[in-house]
Amino acid sequence: MDLRSWAQGLLIALLTTAAGAQVALSPSHYELGVELDYTREELQATARIVLSNPSAEPQRTASLLLYRLLRVRAASDDHGHDLAFTQAVVAFEDFAKLQVNQIVVTLADPLAPGAQTAISLQYGGFLLGYAETGMRYVQDRIDPELTILRDDSFAYPLPGHPSRAVNRSAPEASFTYSARITVPSGLVVANGGRLEATDTRGDKVTYRFSSLKPSWRMDFVIARYTRLSSGTIHVYHLPGDGAGAAAVAQAAAKAMALFGVWFGPLAEEAELTFIEIPDGWGSQADVTTVIQSAAAFRDPSRHREVYHEISHLWNVRATDRPSPRWNEGLASFLEFLAAQELTGERVVDARATQLVDWLRQELPGHPAWRKIPLADYGRNGLTDLSYSVGALFFDLLYRLAGKETFNAIIRKYAADFGGRGGSTKDLAETIRKTASIDLSPLLTDWLFTTGWTERIAHDAGIAELAAWYGRGGHAGQERP
């Protein structure tokens, strides 16, 4: 390491310590401008970020993270004054394979608790993904076939520290945005916000978007897209997938109607945009946008992936920090339940049996599963398990409570906590108040302890598990 790099690293450490390593300023608005150069395979960008201080102490610095090959050229405030900053490529302290460029900006004045400030960064460079870290879906690169600008690859500055634990413990971000994305003519920028205008100059086109509602992420996908709309559903599809896109729009509309009947109408009309991407790049969703793998466009049996993402519209913001993400377990159950309802194909039992068998097979090789309950998955980096353990919890809840009571539970939880957020304990209390039978053993085993591991260790299928809990079983009780 040369002297300059060492000095930069030391200064970052000192500034971060001064700011409080556990404090990340919270973004409330982005103004993003990006121009993509496909010949040089690089981007040049500006980002103005409105930041607030969620802590109880004044903050003198702002720590932001960018992709490791993106470099900041300048930082300034809204008065046009240059701000001092340092930057250095660092590894996450609890995920050593993940490297980012950490930028520490010294604010013009200490930011008081609850106060806001804005900083602007000019940056540019290359984007080559993070597949080598094990996050194989982050293949993000600047390529005319497909380019994605998203937070998974730190393509725009994200407030935070190079620590998964610290960032997961911070309050969930919620921000609005406006964006200008400039690309060569012939390419289309897809986004779930409002398309305000397209400006053409020579052989370049600038797409101008504004967010429809606050969210925790913003995504821009560039390819040779065609856009179609059906009511409030919009779909960007890749060449040759027009028929599949129409089918996805129809599947989305059916799912929205079905979940509306089950769980009640959404607080406000949902305008939703689906963006097709190749398989292997990772399906994702926020409050207005679903990035959907091509498989769901080309294979009707994969429409359950659409149902999965649609169900998230009824999610409540998690107040558990870090979140255990049991909402993914709920979505994983609902995608099969909706598929069964809409197609008549009996898929719920088969999926539950598959999950029970898989967990039983994998359990001996994962001793942590016997120690950490679902409610604590966020704090222990086990949220991938939420998709399976959570799905079985909600499957059992459905079988024990019955369809109408299950729907009433989800409806009441969304109504009571949709505006302020809710926790795992809030969900459990909603279940206790709404269900006509005592479901405490189920809640204890599957949410707050690891009693479920004892149950599936026996040679029991989903029907046997439901019958055991239906008889009032509890953790530690032997199954008849």
Which of 204, 224, 244 terminates a domain? The answer is 224
Tokens of 446: 């599957």
* 168 pLDDT tier (thresholds 50, 70, 90): confident
Q: What is the pLDDT of residues 182-215, one digit of tens each?
A: 999 999 999 999 999 999 999 999 999 999 999 9
Counting Cα atoms < 13 Å in the Cβ hemisphere of 339 gives 24
Amino acid at 64: L
442 SS3 class: helix
**Domain of residue 287, residue span:** 230-309
Average pLDDT value for the chain: 91
Is residue 346 located within the same domain as residue 437? yes
Other Cβ atoms closer than 10 A to 186:
9
Backbone angles phi, psi at 231, to 5 degrees: 65, -125
Alpha-carbon distance of 328 to 315, in angstroms, equals 10
Average pLDDT over residues 260-269: 90
Is residue 359 located within the same domain as residue 465? yes
Q: What is the pLDDT of residues 72-120, one digit of tens each?
A: 999 999 999 999 999 999 999 999 999 999 999 999 999 999 999 999 9
Q: Classify residue 475: in a domain, yes or no.
A: no
Q: Is the pLDDT of residue 20 over 60?
A: no
The pLDDT value given to residue 6: 36
Dihedral sign, Cα of residue 434, residue 440, residue 441, residue 447: positive
Higher pLDDT among residues 477 and 194, named by residue: 194
The pLDDT value given to residue 45: 98
280 SS3 class: coil
Residue appearing with tokens 């990340």:
24
What residues does 473 pair with on adjacent strands? none
434 SS3 class: helix
* 381 pLDDT tier (thresholds 50, 70, 90): confident
Q: Classify residue 84: in a domain, yes or no.
A: yes
Is residue 204 located within the same domain as residue 328? no
Is residue 38 located within the same domain as residue 140? yes
What residues does 175 pair with on adjacent strands? 215
Q: Classify residue 2: in a domain, yes or no.
A: no
433: CATH: 1.10.390.10
Which of 193, 224, 255 terminates a domain? The answer is 224
The pLDDT value given to residue 16: 40
Alpha-carbon distance of 313 to 262, in angstroms, equals 13
Alpha-carbon distance of 239 to 227, in angstroms, equals 11
Number of domains composing the chain: 3
Amino acid at 457: A
Average pLDDT over residues 387-414: 98
Is residue 253 located within the same domain as residue 345? no
Alpha-carbon distance of 466 to 463, in angstroms, equals 5
The pLDDT value given to residue 28: 96
Alpha-carbon distance of 98 to 317, in angstroms, equals 27
Is residue 456 located within the same domain as residue 370? yes
* 2 pLDDT tier (thresholds 50, 70, 90): very low
Cβ atoms 76, 117 nearer than 8 A: no
Q: Classify residue 16: in a domain, yes or no.
A: no
Is residue 195 located within the same domain as residue 144? yes
Q: What is the pLDDT of residues 223-248, one digit of tens each?
A: 999 999 988 899 999 999 999 999 99
Q: Is the pLDDT of residue 271 over 90?
A: no
94: CATH: 2.60.40.1730
Q: Classify residue 6: in a domain, yes or no.
A: no
Q: Is the pLDDT of residue 149 over 80?
A: yes
The pLDDT value given to residue 459: 63
Which of 224, 259, 290 terminates a domain? The answer is 224
Backbone angles phi, psi at 41, to 5 degrees: 55, 45
DSSP for 165-222 reads HHHHHSPPP-BEEEEEEEEETT-EEE-SSEEEEEEEETTEEEEEEE-SS-BS---EEE
Its pTM stands at: 0.83
Q: Classify residue 305: in a domain, yes or no.
A: yes
Q: Classify residue 7: in a domain, yes or no.
A: no
Alpha-carbon distance of 100 to 85, in angstroms, equals 16
* 391 pLDDT tier (thresholds 50, 70, 90): very high
The pLDDT value given to residue 5: 38
Strand order in the sheet with 284-285: 226-230, 233-237, 272-277, 289-293, 284-285
Is residue 327 located within the same domain as residue 427? yes
Q: What is the pLDDT of residues 64-85, one digit of tens each?
A: 999 999 999 999 999 999 999 9
Is residue 144 located within the same domain as residue 220? yes
Average pLDDT over residues 34-61: 96
Is residue 265 located within the same domain as residue 336? no
Q: What is the pLDDT of residues 301-333, one digit of tens each?
A: 889 989 998 999 899 989 998 899 999 999 999
Is residue 161 located within the same domain as residue 241? no
Is residue 213 located within the same domain as residue 272? no
Q: Classify residue 9: in a domain, yes or no.
A: no
The pLDDT value given to residue 22: 52
Q: Is the pLDDT of residue 123 over 90?
A: yes
Residue appearing with tokens 């940056």:
123
The pLDDT value given to residue 243: 95
